[in-house]
């Protein structure tokens, strides 16, 4: 159920809007749309749609970043070595 009302009327009668899904808030003098009020149920639906629309774009950006950043996979043999031990082990691996 959608209704149209002025800004003052909206603020004064806000408690009466509990069962309304959509309210178009209009400036009565200029008859221009100033905003929209959505019930919680409708707002959650819109939020879900927006998140689904942004998801492919976010994944595309993440793949682009990972292309340059790569993933850090450390060999199990090198995980618990100190800084000095790690330098020695890397040098040994390069000489092989």
Contacts of 4 by beta carbon, 8 Å cutoff, 6+ apart? 23, 24, 26
What was the pLDDT predicted at 70?
58
Q: What is the pLDDT of residue 52?
A: 93
Greatest alpha-carbon pair distance for the chain in Å reads 83
Q: Are 23 and 36 in contact (CB under 8 A)?
A: yes
Does residue 48 have a pLDDT over 90? yes
pLDDT in tens, 1-12: 678 899 889 888
In tens, the pLDDT along 69-91 reads 755 666 777 778 888 888 888 88
26 pLDDT above the threshold of 90: yes
Query: What pTM was estimated for this model as a whole?
Result: 0.52
């Amino acid at each position: 159920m959608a209704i149209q009302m002025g800004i003052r009327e909206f603020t004064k009668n806000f408690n009466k809007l509990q069962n309304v899904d959509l309210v178009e808030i209009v400036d009565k003098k200029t008859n221009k749309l100033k905003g929209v009020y959505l019930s919680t149920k409708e707002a959650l639906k819109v939020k879900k749609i927006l998140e689904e629309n942004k998801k492919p774009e976010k994944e595309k950006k993440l793949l682009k970043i990972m292309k340059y950043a790569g993933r850090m996979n450390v060999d199990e043999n090198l995980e618990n070595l100190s800084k000095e031990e790690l330098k020695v082990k890397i040098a040994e691996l390069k000489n092989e």
